[in-house]
Structure 1
Amino acid sequence: MSEIEIRNSLSEPLSSQVLERLEGLVDPELEQGLVSAGMVRALALDGRCLQVGLLTPYPCQSQYRDLVMTLTNRLSDLPEIDEVECEIGLAVPSIQAGSLAPIPNIRNVIAVSSGKGGVGKSTTAVNLALALAAEGARVGVLDADIYGPSVPIMLGCTDFRPTSTDGKTMEPAYAHGIAAMSMGFMVTEDNATVWRGPMAAGALVQLVNETRWPELDYLVVDMPPGTGDIQLTLSQKIPVSGAVVVTTPQEIATADARKGITMFNKVNIPVLGIVENMSYHLCSQCGSKEHPFGTGGGLATANRYNVPLLGELPLNVAVREHVDSGNPSVVAEPDGDISAAYRAIARKTAASLLHRSEPQDLAIEITME
């Protein structure tokens, strides 16, 4: 992160002590002190009350409470301070994506891909989008699986049909607090999309550019499986900020995941990390952990390509039931363990985007009354 000027009205001795202690608080995802990470934006003293203004560059709303408690404990024993007030905001920077022009209203595009079908890519993409939103970001999801669009079912909006207010762009659907667009909104449930590769790729570009997206911090793109025309078109026509690769632990899946990573490397799209889906199963009767698809495949692949393992998700019938009903796990059981796992993956994904790319300058100030 680039150096950011802090609006600081403290005396020099007190300022040095406060900044030293804030730098000693290391953000778990950015792996930097709060000052080095550019998160400290304002310091002020109102009587004996220290006011701290923070801006996080990635969504982590569920961590705010613990951060404030830790920060308060670290600063409240200074002689000049009896009380600490902390205000936290979110300012997601836009990530440079090569020479392609940005999509209007969209700061970052994250592609969710898999080398083969059946590994839970769409389920992961939808829950990742909802988890980013749950952590405080403005999020949209694009269903780029032209041949087998599943996002309408997963978000419970199969009856939606796009309309246009200006005759040029389509309005997206809105479900569970996120915007969504899919080829599934254009065709009936029983109809198949019978197109050759270039036609499907062209349709994808139209879906992206002709949707009237609201202001979004992240557009999560659910890619079709494989490494064909649609994947290449996405890299050549859409300013993708980074990619997440989903796999299961067994060799046949990780072998295809490695091909996907190689493809993204060739087209200069940073791989933000790997999600290992169906990693294990917890027995509902005895609680024992079983690994029906083997162990370690996701981690081994992550280590081989020097990318993070963003998380390991269980094989759980509730995950399937939730997306089939149009209420994915993050919204169906927001306080459950599976939702917590998706939210952790969301935080790591957003932080990895900052680690692996150079953010544009973001001129946002935090105002303290």
Structure 2
Amino acid sequence: MISEKIFSDAKFYDKLIGVFFTSENCNICDELFEKIKKLQISQKYYLFKVNANEYLQYTVRLSRGIIPSLSILDLDGKTIAVIESLDIEYIQEKLREIYTKKEKLEGIEFPRPQQIEEVNVAEFLDIINFASEGNPIDFRGIEFLLFYADVHKEYQKIINIISPLDTIGKFLLTGKIDTTLDETYTNILALETIYNIIDVKDKLIERITENGEVFRSSRKEVKGLLVDEAIVGTALLSLYQRTFDNKFLNLSLKIYDWIINNLESDIGFRDYPPVDPITKHEYFEPLANAETSIFLAKLWAITDDDKVKEKAEKALKIAYTVGTDIRVLSRVAIAYIKLNELIKSRKEIKNDIRVEIVKDNGCKEDFKYKNSCYDSIDKIEFNLI
């Protein structure tokens, strides 16, 4: 959207670039943006209005996620200032100040981790502590808690006090959806598929290109975000496990190939391809990498491809290293348990994140765990944490 030519023109005309972040739910954003454009100082800027939910590759690099906000970029595509205000006079004052000081302002860098950390499984208990303190927790956190309470019965009481952060989390707890989900964004179609809420597989597949890129939304403006690739890949594997129809597995492998060919680096996975001066700056978005580790752990369980497992571990470790919030830790915990405590099963076991359904687990019995066969999952102990 914000091309190399725009940056070249900005340099030629001695302008800065401003990215105004809005969203579908912001009722004041359009009016505020029009006011900003009419300011005399705005002639010193190229101004762009961007949907923060759609253009996530810009949102994570240039803003703190506040809507509305105006991020000012230098000519290298780095943020030199962020204005978070509804006061047009204050915005005008700041735009003047930023332009006057533009030569002295340094763009924000995203430093590479100097060391990749090994996962400390004891930290997974932080998810339990977080929920027990009454903090809202998202669907992946709830997925982990439901599993943990099943294998450690003494934690069953925590299920009654969980505060779900989102509709999917509430569904996992109650089995009910109180509202029609907005399917504008592809991740909603993916979640409806993963948790078998409603059959939207045709809509989902329509959002995937021939080469494995996933469109962010029905607008089809953005495609190839790691977080979307991962969640849709997981959804396709869920469809395969229910039907054993190879078309779903093959589609997931296309997504896998696209991720590897376009987003992989030596220490993790970029959030988006380097297609413009902004996204050329490498960024390892932790939640996207954590979600990718779940997708790849699931794919490894189905394909037995150790290269896929290596990629899953790479995504897992970078997410753990750079991630700081409970949503990332919840996803890391799920992927780690799949990679280290995998149970290959002939049938679905509710709430057990160790279990992946496979066509043939190599056993006469229903369950295979670490090269041994079991006729009951209750005979498989979980002592990791």
TM-score, with structure 1 as normaliser: 0.28
Query: Which one has a larger percent helix, Structure 1 or Structure 2?
Result: 2
| Structure with more relative contact order (C-alpha pairs < 8 Å, separation 6 or more) | 1
TM-score, normalisation: structure 2: 0.27
